[in-house]
């Protein structure tokens, strides 16, 4: 039985990156290969790929999901949007001294009035909210909300964060956290990959606020993942098929891309690969999972005891990841969203 303690590690607080590297491609890259570990720069990535390889990116865009306001009683609240359901409905986490009651109203940023329709989620951790009056939530949130930096980043979002906490290819609004492996790519690097023959493909998975929720079950088999929306276009499915036909590898840029690809390939015929179209997933990838699509993974360093650390342990091997993280700490790599990156090889070729 795997427990939370199997995914813990000591991390000096000063290694938690509070700001991005001066240049997107200027971060470090730890290549965890089958022949050992190699300390590289992220700009070295093209040298580590074959021209036949396909990179799959998550093109979600972070919305301004953090808002402050008050309850009808006057009590102060902080709202973190989990998802905007449609122009008039959203799901959010609310921080307050006393939670607002169903049937009451809240006012955010002195401009957005929302009715509280009740609590939802596996542990009632979210609130269902409905816009009162004119307007639409997409426009209102973008105009009056604030960029939601992760809780371990200690400064409020400033001007530089507005660009550096978005990928350069972010297109589809809906995430409340960035797909951080993609933050290392800039336009010249993307163009260089294209020029050397690498195909680039896209999918959209809107990262939810639940990604920062701690695992509360000591036995990880008892943990239930939050659900996230994703969509894989047919062009990406076709690119994966072409890559397989020419003997190339599927490289997921980030755990969100990996989760979407693997979720879309669930079913009785894994050889068919991922299915195109919109879907939702609460897939929980832990050691023992049989990967069906992804061969290599570009990812940042993850929090102790997190589901993402469990995912990369499943992908590259638990002992391999433990050793890689010890190496990263010893070599003073920078951790988490604004930190350095890893290139991981899948631990075996089993499907």
Last residue of a domain, one of 144, 178, 200: 144
- Higher pLDDT: 225 or 103? It is 103
* Least confident segment among 36-50, 194-208, 222-236, 247-261: 222-236
183 shares a domain with 134: no
117 shares a domain with 51: no
CATH number of the CATH domain containing 222:
3.40.1780.10
Q: Let me know if residue 313 belongs to a domain.
A: yes
Stated as kind and residue range, the H or E segment containing 301 is none
Q: Let me know if residue 48 belongs to a domain.
A: yes
Q: How confident is the model at residue 348 (pLDDT cuts 50, 70, 90)?
A: low
Helix (H, G, I), strand (E, B) or coil at 49: coil
Q: How confident is the model at residue 351 (pLDDT cuts 50, 70, 90)?
A: very low
Question: What residues contact residue 293 under an 8 Å CB cut-off, 6+ apart?
Answer: 240, 250, 261, 262, 264, 265, 273, 274
Last residue of a domain, one of 114, 144, 174: 144
241 shares a domain with 124: no
Range of the domain at 112: 66-144
120 shares a domain with 13: no
Q: Let me know if residue 43 belongs to a domain.
A: yes
Q: How confident is the model at residue 122 (pLDDT cuts 50, 70, 90)?
A: low
* Digit-coded pLDDT (tens) for 18-57: 999 999 999 999 999 988 999 999 999 999 999 999 999 9
| Average pLDDT, integer, range 288-304 | 96
pLDDT surpasses 60 at 144: yes
319 shares a domain with 185: yes
Mean pLDDT of the chain: 93
182 shares a domain with 41: yes
Q: How many domains does the chain have?
A: 2
181 shares a domain with 140: no
| Average pLDDT, integer, range 154-170 | 93
Q: Let me know if residue 151 belongs to a domain.
A: no
183 shares a domain with 138: no
* Digit-coded pLDDT (tens) for 61-90: 999 999 999 998 899 999 999 999 999 999
DSSP 178-231: --GGGGG--HHHHHHHHHTT-EEEEEEE---GGGGPPP--SBGGG--PPPEEEE
120 shares a domain with 223: no
Q: Let me know if residue 184 belongs to a domain.
A: yes
Going from the C-alpha of 260 to that of each of 20, 197, 282, 310, 319, the distances in angstroms are: 26, 24, 10, 16, 25
308 shares a domain with 237: yes
The answer to whether 342 and 30 are in contact (CB under 8 A) is yes
pLDDT surpasses 90 at 272: no
pLDDT surpasses 90 at 217: no
| Residue 291, pLDDT score | 95
165 shares a domain with 20: yes
CATH number of the CATH domain containing 109:
2.40.10
| Residue 349, pLDDT score | 47
331 shares a domain with 210: yes
């Amino acid at each position: 039985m795997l427990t939370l303690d199997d995914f813990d590690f000591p991390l000096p607080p000063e290694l938690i990156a509070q700001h991005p590297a001066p240049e997107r491609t200027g971060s470090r890259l730890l290549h965890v290969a089958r022949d050992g570990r190699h300390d590289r720069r992220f700009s070295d990535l093209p040298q580590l790929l074959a021209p036949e390889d396909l990179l799959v990116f998550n093109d979600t865009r972070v919305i301004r999901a953090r808002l402050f306001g008050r309850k009808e009683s006057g009590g102060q609240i902080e709202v973190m949007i989990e998802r905007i359901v449609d122009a008039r409905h959203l799901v959010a986490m609310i921080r307050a001294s006393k939670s607002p009651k169903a049937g009451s109203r809240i006012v955010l940023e002195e401009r957005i009035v929302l009715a509280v329709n009740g609590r939802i989620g596996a542990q009632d951790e979210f609130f269902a909210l409905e816009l009162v009056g004119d307007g639409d939530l997409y426009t209102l949130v973008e105009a009056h909300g604030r960029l939601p930096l992760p809780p371990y980043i200690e400064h409020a979002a400033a001007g530089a964060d507005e660009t550096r906490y978005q990928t350069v290819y972010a297109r589809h609004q809906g995430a409340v956290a960035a797909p951080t492996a993609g933050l290392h790519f800039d336009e010249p690097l993307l163009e260089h990959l294209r020029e050397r023959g690498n195909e680039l493909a896209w999918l959209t998975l809107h990262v939810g606020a639940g990604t920062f929720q701690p695992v509360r079950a000591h036995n990880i088999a008892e943990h239930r993942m939050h659900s996230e929306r994703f969509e894989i276009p047919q062009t990406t499915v076709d690119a994966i098929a072409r890559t397989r036909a020419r003997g190339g590898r599927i490289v997921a840029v980030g755990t969100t891309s990996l989760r979407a690809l693997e979720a879309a390939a669930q079913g009785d015929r894994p050889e068919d690969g991922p299915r195109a179209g919109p879907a939702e997933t609460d897939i929980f990838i832990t050691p023992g999972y049989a990967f069906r699509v992804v061969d290599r993974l570009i990812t940042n360093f993850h929090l102790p005891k997190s589901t993402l650390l469990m995912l990369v342990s499943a992908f590259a091997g638990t002992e391999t990841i433990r050793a890689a993280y010890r190496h990263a700490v010893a070599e003073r790599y920078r951790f988490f969203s604004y930190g350095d990156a890893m290139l991981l090889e899948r631990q075996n070729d089993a499907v």
